[in-house]
Amino acid sequence: MSESATPYPYSPGLEGVPAGVSQISEIDSDRSSLQYRGYDVHDLAEHGSFEETAFLLLHGHLPNQHELTDFNNRLGTEREVPDAVYTALQALPPTTHPMDSIRTAFSVLAAFDPDYTEPATNHEANLRKAERIVAKAGTMVANGHRIRQGLNPIKPNPEHTTSENFLHLMTGTAPDPKTAHLLDASLTLYAEHGFNASTFANRVTVSTLSDLYSGIVTGIGTLRGPLHGGANEEAMRMLLEIGEPSNAQAWIDDALETKKKIMGFGHREYKKGDSRAMYLTKIAKALGIEKGNTKFGEIADILEDTMRERKNIFPNVDFPASYAYYLLDIPIDLYTPIFVVARVSGYCAHAIEQLSNNRLIRPKAIFDGPANLTYVPLADRA
């Protein structure tokens, strides 16, 4: 940096820089813990449901039975989407990545929301929008997948949970309860994670008094990158490249020696292990045993042990999610869109929180370019 640069404190990537105050989630790096509104994410994933988690994030407390029943009924009646959304998805090239499809779907969906014209600061309207967004995300991802395959969309079953709805629409068959439970747990683990890149981008957008849908589209665009949500897809491609447990040690040795990017490991917020990965690893490996396919769990053991011993780096949640989804026969390019199905609940919670006590987010940049140059007329420039 030049001497002329303003000497403000600076952290590349804004690492460790507080950017706001939130009551939605807390990451404790020292204890490798994550809490949603004071509740440990492991308890929510193991004993609760994604719908309970979504209610908690949006409404600020865990629902009682009556509240949960009403919430599930509202989600069930809102799962279907306007035909115009499917028309837009059918107009996209078949090579379109599902993340681009779901981003487009939300852009189209926005104008059909009954509260579309309500001011960005209308709290009750925002809650209604948020519930519609959570309800419709899985429908649009799963039916978008069908459209890309040349199949017709399927109408959602209002009795289905979020995970059951997604699996039913994706496969066209009744969801297996164990499969739905594992997917449900992963949705809970993916639902919220503080001021991550996409959530922060979402908050920046709504801080301009734009609407929730604009924040969602911004978040999805940010999540699209392989250093954020796309890491689970890249982690699975890495495991497929390794192929067999017998290849794993040589592969990881070479990757470390050549400084190859090892997807699914490390996290800026966790230095002692990603709390979400710990639970998902357990159920992913159990799924492999149940299905008689333990090779990905065995490869994972070798990679995890080597990375921990040599680099003190631990897997993040994207690593076990990758082979868990693969064992569930979910196409790899749907992994990040599944992240969207979960994370829109967190995006909406943050957008509502931002708008409830809003101030435009406008950080300062440190200028590091030339200054006080003399303007040269165009005719005199070399």
The residue annotated as part of the active site, out of 267, 301, 329, 368, is 267
For residue 53 the two structure tokens come to: 């988690």
Alpha-carbon Rg for the chain in angstroms: 22
**Element containing residue 66 per DSSP (H, E):** helix 65-77
Instruction: Characterize the bridge pairing of strands 33-36 and 39-40.
Output: antiparallel
For residue 54 the two structure tokens come to: 């979504």
Q: Is 346 helix (H, G, I), strand (E, B) or coil?
A: helix
Burial class (CB within 10 angstroms; exposed 0-12, middle 13-18, buried 19+) of 324: buried
Euclidean distance between CA atoms 53 and 187, whole angstroms = 9
In what side-by-side order are the strands of the sheet with 33-36?
Answer: 25-28, 33-36, 39-40
Contacts with 67 (C-beta within 8 Å, 6 or more apart), sequence order = 55, 59
319 near 235, Cβ under 8 Å?
yes
Catalytic status, residue 211: no
Query: One-letter amino acid identity for 98?
Result: P
Give me the residues paired with residue 33 across strands: 28
Instruction: Characterize the bridge pairing of strands 25-28 and 33-36.
Output: antiparallel
203 near 350, Cβ under 8 Å?
yes
Burial per residue of 70-98, b for 16 or more beta-carbon CB atoms within 10 angstroms, e otherwise = ebbeebbebbbbeeebbebbeebeeeebb
Euclidean distance between CA atoms 373 and 324, whole angstroms = 58
- Only one residue has tokens 């908690």, namely 56
Catalytic status, residue 305: no
DSSP one-letter code for 207: T
Euclidean distance between CA atoms 232 and 283, whole angstroms = 16
The residue annotated as part of the active site, out of 113, 184, 274, 318, is 318
For residue 46 the two structure tokens come to: 């193991």
232 near 336, Cβ under 8 Å?
yes
- The catalytic site residues sit at 267, 318
